[in-house]
């Protein structure tokens, strides 16, 4: 009866995790929701039979699984996903403050409820099991011994295991018929499954144009007259942490948490529909620095082997002094592997900068700004420079050393205050350059590394787990103070992978041949590609007015018309099967080929060199 008791615990945890969620109304829904819990219980029953003479070990395993399920109730309620292998790698010391943020009395009570239920079900299961086995000899005398005593189990246990097996089979079928948004996953199954490859590699075909657009044949805004407009200037690139386009006034936001950025936008090129390639900072940084896509099933360390020259390397060869300043810590998620040997003469993170306010994730932005201006002051007079600034204001748990102008009663308000705090520091930095007479000799590129969600879609919080607009649509501004005095808004789709070639085009420099992005000065329409593999493996595309999101390895797909449905509420995939088939096929080709390009770059280079 231990397996049945464990299933009862897992089912209790699942009910607590999905309570209040709007799940599909279907007869298949309960089967789809609990089939993986039944599967885990069946595997546990097999282990129980194999270790029949070691009951203490079995009970230890029972309590370990129950405890793991209890922790995952909170994770699933907060993030709409049990712990995955990718999430576990990200949960390092830098996130201590974020983890502590969720150790609330309510969440602790949820975990305690699961453990209390485990104690009750274990007690009931033990008593019923003993009674059934005590009654077994009498039953055997009246019925067939083979039917009631296989492997030493009672008839009740046989019936229970049969019911679990039936639930597992029917539920596996039902999970393809209803979309529970990943909430059907058992915590253990999700962890094991996420540790296996989501995408298979395929031979790299460098000539494939994955971003070809099918939306319309119209050209976009022609900005080629700006080619070389920034020649000879310094370059400052700023990656705004967790800053989604929809949160900003210059992108239509109701509030204005970044007034300095809003003022700068008034005289900037503003790209209205820019998308992060991957809604996480480290791989996203690689896509910006080297104009190369990251890939499914890869770690930051895999990118160290890719020798595509970064922006810093190109500019260093052009005579610039180069530096990267990060208010966070380079050790987080293997960032060191992405930034080392990329042409940066100076690399400074929170440990080097110090600061007046320290969190587990890094230091305060004013301290970083002070350090950056000191670095600029130390350069020889007239020396051109390239500076890449990675602030952390905006990162969860949105803590700031001082109160902001927005409400602090919820995470969304605290987030706006964090953006405001970071914008104050940005203003200090811009003013510092102006005082030094450097603003009109500098090209500024400011972008959001990814967005931040606050429940705009059910269960969507943070940034890494979904591909909705709030997760991946980001600001992208290009400013040339003194060169133009009016802003221009560019509507066509863009990607952060286009930042490096656009920047080099503005400087009048040659773009490396193996960049996968394209200069946004060209009028050519292109789509934007993106993916995430932190929880459900998702890939997507923005093509004109259309946006498609598909779950890799399944038939689940969403298609939205962003012109009529900007909030991505109405899935119209069923109305456009040809469009869905075309883009799903192209995304499958892109994700599998890109994995080869990342994991076997040397082999791909040899193949490309063959006549």
Q: What is the pLDDT of residues 274-284, one digit of tens each?
A: 999 999 999 99
Q: Which stretches of 284-420 are assigned E, i.e. beta strand?
A: 321-326, 346-348, 385-390
CATH number of the domain at 448, please: 3.40.720.10
pLDDT, one tens digit per residue, over 387-413 is 999 999 999 999 888 889 999 888 999
pLDDT of residue 464: 93
Q: How many CB atoms lie within 10 A of CB 406?
A: 17
Q: Which helix (H) or strand (E) holds 585?
A: helix 577-599
Please indicate, yes or no, whether residues 147 and 240 belong to a single structural domain of this protein. Answer: no
Q: By CB neighbour count within 10 A (0-12 exposed, 13-18 middle, 19+ buried), where does 7 fall?
A: buried
Please indicate, yes or no, whether residues 342 and 467 belong to a single structural domain of this protein. Answer: yes
The answer to the question of residue 221 being in a domain is no
The answer to the question of residue 589 being in a domain is no
Question: In total, how many domains does the chain have?
Answer: 2
Q: Residue range 63-92: average pLDDT?
A: 92
Please indicate, yes or no, whether residues 382 and 487 belong to a single structural domain of this protein. Answer: yes
Strands 268-275 vs 473-474: parallel, antiparallel or unpaired: antiparallel
Burial 140-164 (b: 16+ CB within 10 A, else e): eeeeeeeebbeeebbbbbbebbeeb
Is 422 in contact with 365 (CB distance < 8 Å)? yes
pLDDT, one tens digit per residue, over 247-275 is 999 999 999 999 999 999 999 999 999 99
pLDDT of residue 148: 43
The answer to the question of residue 596 being in a domain is no
Helices (H), 80-202: 85-90, 96-101, 105-142, 145-148, 155-174, 187-194
DSSP letter string, 201-241: -----TT--TT---S--------GGGTTTTTT-EEEEEEET
Please indicate, yes or no, whether residues 460 and 316 belong to a single structural domain of this protein. Answer: yes
Please indicate, yes or no, whether residues 493 and 395 belong to a single structural domain of this protein. Answer: yes
Residue range of the domain that includes 504: 235-521
- Short-list 515, 478, 521, CA closest to 500: 515
Please indicate, yes or no, whether residues 63 and 145 belong to a single structural domain of this protein. Answer: yes
Tell whether the model's pLDDT for residue 149 goes beyond 60: no
Q: Distance (Å, rounded) from C-alpha 445 to C-alpha 127?
A: 68
Q: Residue range 147-156: average pLDDT?
A: 58
The answer to the question of residue 307 being in a domain is yes
pLDDT band at 25 (very low <50, low <70, confident <90, very high): confident
Please indicate, yes or no, whether residues 243 and 186 belong to a single structural domain of this protein. Answer: no
pLDDT, one tens digit per residue, over 443-496 is 999 999 999 999 999 999 999 999 999 999 999 999 999 998 889 999 999 999
Please indicate, yes or no, whether residues 184 and 261 belong to a single structural domain of this protein. Answer: no
Please indicate, yes or no, whether residues 280 and 146 belong to a single structural domain of this protein. Answer: no
Tell whether the model's pLDDT for residue 138 goes beyond 60: no
Q: Distance (Å, rounded) from C-alpha 531 to C-alpha 540?
A: 6
Please indicate, yes or no, whether residues 183 and 240 belong to a single structural domain of this protein. Answer: no
pLDDT, one tens digit per residue, over 332-373 is 888 999 999 999 999 999 999 988 777 778 899 999 999 999
Is 444 in contact with 260 (CB distance < 8 Å)? no
Is 522 in contact with 269 (CB distance < 8 Å)? no
The answer to the question of residue 526 being in a domain is no
Backbone phi and psi for residue 288, each to the nearest 5 degrees, phi listed first:
-80, -45
Structure tokens at 366: 């004013």
pLDDT, one tens digit per residue, over 277-333 is 999 999 999 999 999 999 999 999 999 999 999 999 999 999 999 999 999 999 988
Q: Which of these three, 502, 521, 540, is where a domain ends?
A: 521
pLDDT, one tens digit per residue, over 524-569 is 899 999 999 999 999 999 999 999 999 998 989 999 999 999 999 9
Tell whether the model's pLDDT for residue 421 goes beyond 50: yes
Please indicate, yes or no, whether residues 52 and 122 belong to a single structural domain of this protein. Answer: yes
For the chain, the C-alpha Rg in angstroms (whole number) is 27
Q: Which of these three, 475, 491, 521, is where a domain ends?
A: 521
pLDDT band at 205 (very low <50, low <70, confident <90, very high): low
Residues 6+ apart with CB under 8 A from 16: 73, 77, 110, 113, 114
Q: Residue range 133-140: average pLDDT?
A: 53
Residues 6+ apart with CB under 8 A from 108: none
The answer to the question of residue 539 being in a domain is no
pLDDT of residue 359: 79
Q: Which of these three, 504, 521, 538, is where a domain ends?
A: 521
Please indicate, yes or no, whether residues 185 and 247 belong to a single structural domain of this protein. Answer: no
Place of tokens 């810093």: 312
The answer to the question of residue 281 being in a domain is yes
Burial 496-526 (b: 16+ CB within 10 A, else e): bbbbbbbbbbbbebebbebbbbbbbbbeebb
């Amino acid at each position: 009866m231990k397996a049945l008791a464990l299933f009862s615990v897992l089912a209790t945890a699942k009910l607590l995790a999905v309570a209040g969620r709007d799940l599909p109304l279907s007869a298949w829904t309960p089967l789809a929701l609990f089939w993986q819990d039944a599967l885990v219980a069946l595997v546990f029953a097999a282990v129980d039979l194999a270790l029949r003479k070691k009951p203490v070990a079995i009970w230890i395993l029972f309590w370990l699984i129950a405890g793991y399920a209890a922790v995952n109730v909170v994770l699933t309620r907060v993030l709409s996903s049990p712990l995955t292998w990718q999430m576990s790698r990200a949960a390092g010391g830098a996130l201590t403050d974020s983890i502590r943020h969720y150790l609330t009395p309510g969440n602790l009570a949820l975990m305690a409820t699961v453990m209390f239920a485990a104690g009750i079900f274990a007690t009931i299961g033990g008593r019923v099991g003993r009674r059934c086995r005590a009654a077994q000899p009498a039953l055997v005398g009246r019925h067939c011994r083979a039917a009631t005593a296989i492997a030493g189990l009672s008839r009740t246990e046989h019936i229970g295991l049969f019911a679990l097996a039936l639930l597992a089979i029917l539920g596996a079928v039902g999970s393809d018929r209803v979309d529970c948004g990943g909430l059907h996953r058992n915590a253990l199954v999700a962890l094991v499954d996420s540790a296996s490859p989501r995408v298979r590699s395929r031979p790299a075909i460098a000539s494939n144009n994955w971003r070809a657009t099918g939306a319309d044949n119209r050209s976009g805004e022609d900005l080629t007259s700006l080619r070389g407009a920034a020649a000879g200037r310094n370059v400052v690139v700023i990656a705004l942490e967790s800053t989604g386009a929809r949160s900003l006034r210059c992108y239509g936001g109701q509030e204005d948490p970044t007034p300095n950025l809003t003022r700068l936008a008034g005289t900037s090129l503003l790209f209205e529909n820019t998308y992060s390639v991957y809604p996480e900072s480290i791989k996203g940084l690689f896509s910006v620095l080297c104009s190369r896509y990251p890939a499914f099933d890869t770690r930051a360390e895999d990118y160290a082997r890719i020798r595509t020259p970064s922006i810093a390397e190109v500019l260093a060869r052009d005579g610039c002094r180069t530096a990267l300043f990060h208010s966070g810590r380079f050790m987080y998620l293997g960032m060191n592997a992405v930034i080392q040997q990329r042409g940066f003469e100076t690399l400074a993170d929170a440990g080097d900068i110090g600061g007046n306010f320290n969190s587990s994730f890094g230091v305060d932005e004013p301290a970083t700004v002070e350090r950056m201006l000191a670095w600029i002051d130390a350069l020889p007079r007239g020396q051109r420079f390239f500076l890449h600034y990675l602030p952390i204001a905006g990162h969860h748990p949105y803590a700031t050393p001082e109160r902001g102008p927005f409400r602090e009663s919820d995470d969304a308000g605290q987030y706006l205050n964090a953006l405001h705090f970071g914008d104050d520091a940005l203003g200090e930095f811009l003013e510092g350059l102006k005082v030094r007479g450097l603003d009109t000799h500098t090209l500024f590129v400011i972008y959001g590394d990814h967005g931040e969600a606050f429940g705009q879609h059910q269960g969507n919080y943070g940034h890494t787990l979904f591909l909705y607009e709030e997760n991946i649509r980001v600001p992208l501004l290009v400013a040339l103070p003194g060169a133009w005095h009016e802003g221009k808004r560019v509507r066509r789709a863009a990607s952060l992978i286009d930042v490096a070639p656009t920047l080099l085009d503005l400087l009048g420099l040659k773009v490396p041949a193996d960049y996968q992005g394209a200069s946004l000065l060209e009028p050519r329409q292109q789509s934007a590609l993106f993916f995430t593999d932190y929880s459900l493996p998702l890939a997507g595309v923005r093509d004109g007015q259309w946006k498609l999101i598909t779950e890799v390895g399944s038939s689940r797909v969403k298609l939205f018309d962003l012109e009529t449905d900007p909030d991505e509420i109405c899935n119209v995939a069923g109305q456009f099967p040809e469009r869905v088939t075309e883009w799903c096929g192209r995304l499958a080709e892109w994700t599998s080929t890109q994995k080869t390009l990342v994991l076997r770059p040397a082999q791909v280079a040899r193949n490309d060199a063959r006549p």
